[in-house]
């Protein structure tokens, strides 16, 4: 039998055990075990409980030992919405916005997403790869163990495939788990400016059929004012589904377009943003299995007061998840702890709701809730250790990184640990 690892010294072990996905009041129970311990074998959890109970098991005697010496332990964060592969930055636009220009004005003038597209097209794959690898280490340092990553800064067949291959390369070299999403429908590229239908045809007939073979699992569309219409999004997502890509949608961020209702109609895995949803949209989302992925980093970075109505969504019974939306234009952060702080103070989610949204519900939206998102027997030992006494301190001390150790499938991704032979 392979070697086991006994992890002890978990002052507060948040298991997130319970119903999947989490809705309503069930989001408030993080399944805490005080003075907890875990037994791990082959990267999976074999036992979880109080330290006393776990240490009584015979199979712990010869296990390697890792004493965490206190701290709060959570399932590793599942960041279910990022645009990981990009080049350059948009600090200049940041400054322009501070001086009064809006995100959409900058985009209409040829900046915004299209300015990052120019840089990504010009960048070699190995440069994109090296940069993304560094970001991946940073994600791990903040307690994230799984990252969804979208293409969408290429917008030509070769550049989109270049991004998806960077992601496939990262999957082979990084232990942090990376889930690829194809997002060729981010905006219409400049060479198709007056011919959006020709770009749609290119995506549907030439690009989508090949991206499923490049490791993409999902297809996403930016369905919003200045990007793609509901009708265009329906066509693209339907074509994606026919090639095995499950739909996700950027919905109701800049304007209320009906994209959230499209997500419900298509049984999308996720509808993301949702700042502009109306009461009927909330009812429709709540009655569906679509995960509502909220991205408060965008409102924070863009200086907008209109955060998504998390409270109304949760109280109506919707499945709510949280993610960073890490990207150079609207949310240049990869810190899920900061996202929890924003969710709590700006969207009135409780710390327990925010943690469930950032772990088990995000895992559900990535179709991985059977493997990750909670610390339960049979699941991967993906966890993050925080130098704190109470989990509520994670959002409370905002902008501070409390994570001292991150583990993926039982091996250390970030931080140091002294393991003792059994
Ligand atoms: O999720 N809204 C569309 N896409 C990104 C922004 C991308 C960018 O500005 O570069 C988002 O906010
Ligand atoms: Fe996004």
Q: Could you report the per-residue pLDDT of 376-397, keeping only the tens digit for each?
A: 999 999 999 999 999 999 999 9
Query: How remote is the CA of residue 381 from the centroid of ligand 1, in Å?
Result: 32
Atom of ligand 1 nearest to the CA of 328: 10
Give tens-digit pLDDT for 306-332.
999 999 999 999 999 999 999 999 999
Q: Which pLDDT score is estimated for 100? A: 96
Question: Which residues lie below 8 Å from residue 375, measured CB to CB, with a gap of 6+?
Answer: 13, 14, 15, 16, 17, 38, 45, 48, 73, 75, 381, 383
Judged against a pLDDT cut of 70, whether residue 1 lies above it is answered with: no
Query: How remote is the CA of residue 101 from the centroid of ligand 1, in Å?
Result: 16
Residue recorded with tokens 């981010």? 186
- Domains of the chain plus CATH, in order, are 4-75+374-414 (2.30.40.10), 78-365 (3.20.20.140)
Query: What average pLDDT score do residues 28-32 get?
Result: 98
- Omega of the bond prior to 21 within 30 degrees of 0, cis? yes
Query: What average pLDDT score do residues 239-262 get?
Result: 98
Residue recorded with tokens 């298991």? 15
Q: Which pLDDT score is estimated for 418? A: 74
Query: What average pLDDT score do residues 147-171 get?
Result: 98
Residue nearest atom 2 in ligand 1 by C-alpha distance: 222
Q: Which pLDDT score is estimated for 145? A: 98
Judged against a pLDDT cut of 80, whether residue 420 lies above it is answered with: no
Q: Which pLDDT score is estimated for 12? A: 98
Judged against a pLDDT cut of 80, whether residue 422 lies above it is answered with: no
Query: How remote is the CA of residue 308 from the centroid of ligand 1, in Å?
Result: 16
Residues with CB under 6 A from ligand 1: 83, 112-113, 116, 222, 250, 253, 298, 325, 327-330
Query: How remote is the CA of residue 112 from the centroid of ligand 1, in Å?
Result: 8
Residue nearest atom 3 in ligand 1 by C-alpha distance: 222
Q: Which pLDDT score is estimated for 288? A: 98
Query: What average pLDDT score do residues 24-45 get?
Result: 98
Vertex 323 angle, CA 331 and 125, to 5°: 65
Query: How remote is the CA of residue 33 from the centroid of ligand 2, in Å?
Result: 35
Q: Which pLDDT score is estimated for 417? A: 78
What average pLDDT does the chain have? 97
Which of 274, 325, 339 to mutate to test ligand 1, by most ligand atoms within 8 A of the CB atom? 325
């Amino acid at each position: 039998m392979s070697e086991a690892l006994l992890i002890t010294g978990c002052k507060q072990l948040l298991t997130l055990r319970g119903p999947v996905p989490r809705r309503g009041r069930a989001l408030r129970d993080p399944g805490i075990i005080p003075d907890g311990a875990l037994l791990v074998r082959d990267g999976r959890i074999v036992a979880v409980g109080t330290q006393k109970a776990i240490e009584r098991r015979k199979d712990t005697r010869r296990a390697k030992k890792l004493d965490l010496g206190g701290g709060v332990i959570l399932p590793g964060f599942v960041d279910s919405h990022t645009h990981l592969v990009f080049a350059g930055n948009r600090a200049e636009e940041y400054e322009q916005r501070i001086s009064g220009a809006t995100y959409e004005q900058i985009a209409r003038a040829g900046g915004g997403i299209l300015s990052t597209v120019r840089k990504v097209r010009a960048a070699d794959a190995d440069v994109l790869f090296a940069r993304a690898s560094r970001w991946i280490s940073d994600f791990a340092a903040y307690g994230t163990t799984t990252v969804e990553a979208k293409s969408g800064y290429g917008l030509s067949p070769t550049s989109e495939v270049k991004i998806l291959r960077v992601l496939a390369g990262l999957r082979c070299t990084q232990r942090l788990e990376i889930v690829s999403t194809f997002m060729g429908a981010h905006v219409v590229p400049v060479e198709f400016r007056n011919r959006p239908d020709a770009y749609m045809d290119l995506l549907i007939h030439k690009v989508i059929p090949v991206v499923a073979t490049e490791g993409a699992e999902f297809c996403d569309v930016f369905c919003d004012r200045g990007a793609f219409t509901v009708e265009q999004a329906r066509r693209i997502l339907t074509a994606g589904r026919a090639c095995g890509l499950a739909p996700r949608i950027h919905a109701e961020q800049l304007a209320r377009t009906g994209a959230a209702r499209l997500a419900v109609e298509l049984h999308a895995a996720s509808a993301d943003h949702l700042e502009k949803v109306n009461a009927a949209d909330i009812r429709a989302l709540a009655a569906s299995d679509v995960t509502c992925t909220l991205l408060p980093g965008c409102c924070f970075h863009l200086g907008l007061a209109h955060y998504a109505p998390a409270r109304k969504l949760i109280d109506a019974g919707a499945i709510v998840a949280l993610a960073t939306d890490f990207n150079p234009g609207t949310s240049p952060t990869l810190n899920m702890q900061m996202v929890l702080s924003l969710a709590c103070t700006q969207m009135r989610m409780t710390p327990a709701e925010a943690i469930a949204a950032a772990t088990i519900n995000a895992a559900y939206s990535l179709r991985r809730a059977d493997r990750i998102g909670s610390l339960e027997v049979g699941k991967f030992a993906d966890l993050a250790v925080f130098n704190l006494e109470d989990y509520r301190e994670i959002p409370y001390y905002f902008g501070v990184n409390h994570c001292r150790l991150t583990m993926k499938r039982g091996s250390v991704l970030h931080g140091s640990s002294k393991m003792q032979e059994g």
